Structure 1
Amino acid sequence: MRSQGNRAQRWSAGLVLVVMGWLLVLQVRADEPAVMPPLADAYQAEAQELLADADVRARWLALLHIQQGRLQIENPQFLLSLPDYSPEREMALTRTLFERDANNICRFPARHLFLQQAGVRVPARPACADFEAFTRKIPADTVSVVYATEYLTETTSMMGHGMLALSGTNGDGNPAAYAVTFFTEIDTYNPVSLFYQTIIAGKDGFFIVQSLSAHYRYYLLEYQRPVWRYDIRMDADQRQLLQAHVWELKQFDILYQFDTLNCATMALDLLALAYPDINQDVGWVSPLDVARIVEQRGIVSGTRIDLASRWQTRRLSYELGSDGREAALALLDPETPVPTEPVTLADDEQQRKIQQLALHYQDWRYETGLISEVEWQQGLQRLPERADLADPEADAAYRRPMLNPLDAQMSFGVRQEDQRSWMLLNWVPAGHQLTDDYRHNFTEYELQVMAPTLKVSDTGEVRLHRLQIFSAAGMTPYESLTGGWSGRLALGIEPVVDEKLDTHSAFQLQTAGGLGLALNDSWTAYGLLGVGTDLRPAERYGWVAPEVGTYFYWAEGLKTRLFWKPRWRLQQELLQQTGFSQTLTFSPQHALLLEADQWRSAELQRTDVQLQWRWYY
């Protein structure tokens, strides 16, 4: 009887478990998204016929963020046909989604509008409260590309930031302007971790629509970065499609990747809705590239430039020199009585520039908190009206960032090193080097991330000459009114010369800081004090190395750099390095670079020379 009772208990317990299991399965299935009905053959066939038109296909791929067959947004909530994606399946599944429930149109209003514009019969869009509130608030009478240039003392900002702007009259009849931007948060200063997160694995991206004035305050006032704005030619249908697609993108999680999907590529992807080929065959894209592309394509209907007060102060300070600076400060002297009548604009050009310098310097002091609002206003009362002092054409013509080198480069050349000959190959996937032509900047920049240099001997031996894991340098000339520091931070595998003038590879970390001095508009001298450490299996040591140098521009495209860098380390002889480089820039994409380094210890001397052809892309 006991065995039968145990058997009955086991059967009862098993039945309970089975019932609970089925209930759990049913609950899990209830939580899953509903399975879409089988794909309609008619929709598939219609999609194939429609997408046979090259123009329609290109605009549909732009709406899906497909570049040369590469999926920019691999999110199954965004691409319905994943994992078996195709443009035709995506269109058919989109139509099926709309037919199944018209309320799904509120999820993809841009796709619905695209199909309507292409002449496809789709259900009418229902009332989409959130989408309609968005379009009422965010007008799209004008679509613009906005480019914020580099921050003078922040090397990692050297490529600037790019975004789109939507502006016009909103549903309440008021003027409104909003920035459409895509970015990620940098939450680590570890260059290896940063490289992995932003290039290999990707980071969470943020697709944000915010007041454009807030961005202008951030860039122009807080970080003193000039902002360029290009209005793009688009018809009403194109602007409406872009506006609806911006709403779509706000709903989805998008992975930010530095080399394939960043603020610049997102801006180009959005512009591709009107100009489908604008984001094809462009390779890696920086924010500055977006500004260049829209200029080169001739799709700009108007340009507006807002220059930061620090930028304008530096420009006029360099031009006017110490006498002009003293005259400008005299105009702002608080001991001088405030005029009872409005101040008139000076007739003499030099005096007008002094008045302009005083205005911009007064603005900069107020924006950075050096003076109060009352002091700011008192200073302005000693100057002509702001509108009278404005000279936007002269401001914009000076050091245009669009004339800087392209933001990626490869170099090929030969090297004579310690009586051996090598061929060199250097690749900077994103950034620049100090030997590049930076006439159109106030600051000489270097920024390299995972930039390798290989060398091949005449016997076929291949070596890693250098690997810049992260290298950032900025030579910002000190300016007496607004200051400015120079510095360097680098981490990588470097060719290190010892006191016997032998070369070894070492893992090197170095940092340096100092000052630069603009001797004139094209000639700068600088001095840095650096410290670092070299790590290799045989030994580890720290060192101290001051550096003094100069760089100057002889003429269009001719740049020369000279430096002297002695290095001390404990219980070792002094090692001195003297460097020379001559850059000849032929075009925005090509330059010839000659470099020579002389190494000297107590009794030994060695000279290395290399010649490279540099290609910017």
Structure 2
Amino acid sequence: MFKISFVSEKKFFFSLLFIFIFFSSSFASSLTVNNALEKKLYDSHVWKALLHIRNGKPSINNSTFLLSHKNFSLKNELIKTINDFENGLNICKYPARYFWLKEQLSGNRFKKFDCKDFKIYIEKTNPEDLELIFASENVSSPSSMMGHVFFNIKSKKEDEKIRQNAVSFFTVIDTFNIPLLITKSTITGMKGYFILNPYKKSINKYLYEEQRSIWEYKLKLTEEQKKLIIYHFWELKDIDMTYFFTGFNCATMIDDILSITNEHYINNNTLWVTPKDVIKNAEKNDLISNTKMIPSIEWEIKMLDENINNSERTNEIMDLINKKKFDSFSESFFSKNYKIKKLEKQFISTYSRYLLNKSLISRKEYLKLTQSLEDEEYIISLENYKNPIKTFNDTQLSLSNVNIDKKGYMGITFLPASNSIYDDNREYFSENSLKIGEIDLLFNKDKVHLNNINIYDMKLLIPWNNITNDISKQFNVSYQKHYDENLNKLNVLNLSGGMGLTTKLHNDIWIYGLTNVGLGLNFEKTYPYAFSDLGFIMYEIFNMKTVLSHKFIYNQDNANEYYQNVMLNQALFIDKQIRFDVSFEKLFNDEYEKKIISLKLNYFF
């Protein structure tokens, strides 16, 4: 007869118990996975946002972020994440995924969330609110020509020892070689950094070192949305990410995260998402509850000077401060006009702060001057003054009918980013043009002509004043047309740059003068050349804008000859999406001339 010993019985029962636990665990796991698949959680906008899915593909496509990297799909990543959480794996790495899935899947068998480092992160940031921050653009700097957008974690007010923290995605530009920079930023990619650092330190850099203004947009979020976003920041801290200027940048990162908030999150920017697109998308999706603007000192001085609109008055104020005649600023000194009086007081306060930062007055002198102005009534709200949300969209497609010396052509121009001198630039402080990757084609029944490719074309017209002494400048890298002594076209790679002065005669009237040097090169020759650029810009009634320019160009084609170019462009802004242009251009020298007339319809999106 077969017998089982006591020891054998114990082994037998332990084996049964192990098998029971194993199959129970597997069965429970499969139930949780099945529940998630039945609910189609893989198709949720939250899941896609947490995985940074854009146009059906993950923007962060590597094994440091995706558990199913070798065989990625939204379903596979969901299954692998659930299995890991039930086996106690990667819980501390993905807190946003953990708490969202735990909320969605009742009866789950996830292991306990016990993450010391994550708890320290929450304690140190002590989050209460989130703000979307926009640092204004500087079109003359490759690292900031489109502006920058990032988050601010606002800590709870009762704990003043805890700093607010900026959360930002960026890259480091380590070269001024434009062709290399274009290759790295659009094709090979650059190292991306996702960091958390003190907010005050971040904005001081923009305000005082780079003279860029800051807009703070308080976000309208539920507690669950805030929690998910703040937890998701933790998930991105140690990830290998590749930064692409046009594909995955600070703007796409932030826009992806904001799509957590809404299943129908509006995002019309499929080609290139810029920082301004992000704040406009937030506005479209009703995510902004209020706005605060922090101007750079130089920006604020120019704004106040512009609105006082009396150069003799501002010069008098500056002269008294420079001579340290602070007692002159009694109530009788100020304008009887209440609005101008407020502006004058603010100008004194801002200009004295500007001198303090330049170490031109002492802190004691600064306090003496500003304390004499204390008056809550004169505080000026800047939230709606030149707000980036109000700017035109920065991608445009143009169709034109062009007549060149009585020969007709159709034209197509595509500008991926950002704006031209013919656009409505009144929401910028300066008149400027920034064209990146612009392609201009002309065609008729016989052939197609590649008229121009603007790889990088910048023109910054900052009004001169005797406080900040700003210089206007321009720089161009392009494939364009040059002309020989007979005004015949030459196809060349062009590099040119220059500087000059701009004067603002009126809020709507500008004149400028720039001197440039350049280099033209093709397979046949390389030559230096020079040109002057004089212009007049005026905004008129009925949403119109006139731009008149005159260029005197010397030594193109190494011909030791000159020609002149006069161009008049009349723009009519139909609305925020459509601009209509009529333009006349004349090229001429002592013997030859060319005339170009065009009608153009521009669509902004």
Match of 1:587 in 2: 575
Counterpart of 1:111 (choices 79, 85, 97) is 97
- Measured at CA, do residues 335 and 167 of structure 1 come closer, stay the same or move farther in structure 2, by a change above 3 Å? closer
Shift of 1:324: 2.0
Distance 1:572 1:38 in 2: 86
Residues 116-152 of structure 1: per-residue CA shift (max 9 Å, x gap): 1113414243421110000111133111111112248
Residue 233, structure 1, aligned to residue 214, structure 2: no
Counterpart of 1:265 (choices 239, 246, 252) is 252
The one-letter code sitting in structure 2 at the alignment partner of 1:355 is K
SS at match of 1:581: strand
Which is worse superposed, 239-248 or 292-301? 292-301
Within a 5 Å distance, the mapping from 1:8-27 to structure 2 comes to: none
Match of 1:434 in 2: 421
Distance 1:391 1:340 in 2: 19
Do the aligned partners of 2:567 and 2:583 also contact (CA within 8 Å) in 1?
A: yes
Distance 2:241 2:420 in 1: 32
RMSD, matched Cα: 2.7
Residues 275-322 of structure 1: per-residue CA shift (max 9 Å, x gap): 244365432211111222222222222222212221121112123221
Within a 5 Å distance, the mapping from 1:420-499 to structure 2 comes to: 420-459=407-446, 461-499=447-485
The one-letter code sitting in structure 2 at the alignment partner of 1:550 is F
Match of 2:293 in 1: 305
Match of 1:65 in 2: 52
Which is worse superposed, 302-311 or 395-404? 395-404
The one-letter code sitting in structure 2 at the alignment partner of 1:596 is F
Match of 1:384 in 2: 373
- Measured at CA, do residues 567 and 341 of structure 1 come closer, stay the same or move farther in structure 2, by a change above 3 Å? closer
Distance 2:175 2:142 in 1: 16
Match of 1:49 in 2: 38
- Measured at CA, do residues 246 and 614 of structure 1 come closer, stay the same or move farther in structure 2, by a change above 3 Å? same
Match of 1:137 in 2: 124
Counterpart of 1:502 (choices 482, 488, 513) is 488
Contiguous gaps of at least 5 residues in structure 2: 1-25
Counterpart of 2:325 (choices 307, 329, 336) is 336
Match of 1:5 in 2: none
Within a 5 Å distance, the mapping from 1:529-544 to structure 2 comes to: 529-544=515-530
Counterpart of 1:606 (choices 587, 590, 594) is 594
Distance 1:529 1:362 in 2: 34
* TM-score, length basis structure 2: 0.89
Do the aligned partners of 1:170 and 1:176 also contact (CA within 8 Å) in 2?
A: no
Distance 1:43 1:127 in 2: 21
Distance 1:166 1:315 in 2: 30
Counterpart of 1:572 (choices 560, 568, 593) is 560
SS at match of 2:130: strand
Shift of 1:594: 2.2
Counterpart of 1:188 (choices 155, 175, 179) is 175
Shift of 1:458: 2.8
Counterpart of 2:202 (choices 198, 215, 227) is 215
Match of 1:403 in 2: 390
The one-letter code sitting in structure 2 at the alignment partner of 1:365 is L
Shift of 1:222: 2.2
Shift of 1:516: 0.4
Match of 1:20 in 2: none
Shift of 1:345: 8.3
Do the aligned partners of 2:584 and 2:596 also contact (CA within 8 Å) in 1?
A: yes
Shift of 1:412: 1.3
Shift of 1:538: 3.6
- Measured at CA, do residues 213 and 495 of structure 1 come closer, stay the same or move farther in structure 2, by a change above 3 Å? same
Do the aligned partners of 2:267 and 2:281 also contact (CA within 8 Å) in 1?
A: no
- Measured at CA, do residues 479 and 333 of structure 1 come closer, stay the same or move farther in structure 2, by a change above 3 Å? closer
Match of 1:98 in 2: 85
SS at match of 2:290: strand
Question: Aligned residues, how many?
Answer: 574
Identity of aligned residues (%): 26
Shift of 1:387: 4.3
The one-letter code sitting in structure 2 at the alignment partner of 1:179 is A
- Measured at CA, do residues 122 and 433 of structure 1 come closer, stay the same or move farther in structure 2, by a change above 3 Å? farther
Distance 2:569 2:285 in 1: 35
Shift of 1:464: 1.0
Distance 1:555 1:38 in 2: 73
Match of 1:597 in 2: 585
Residue 89, structure 1, aligned to residue 79, structure 2: no
Distance 1:414 1:91 in 2: 53
The one-letter code sitting in structure 2 at the alignment partner of 1:511 is G
Do the aligned partners of 1:39 and 1:96 also contact (CA within 8 Å) in 2?
A: no
The one-letter code sitting in structure 1 at the alignment partner of 2:380 is D
SS at match of 1:157: coil
SS at match of 1:478: coil
Match of 1:359 in 2: 349
Distance 1:39 1:581 in 2: 71
Match of 2:12 in 1: none
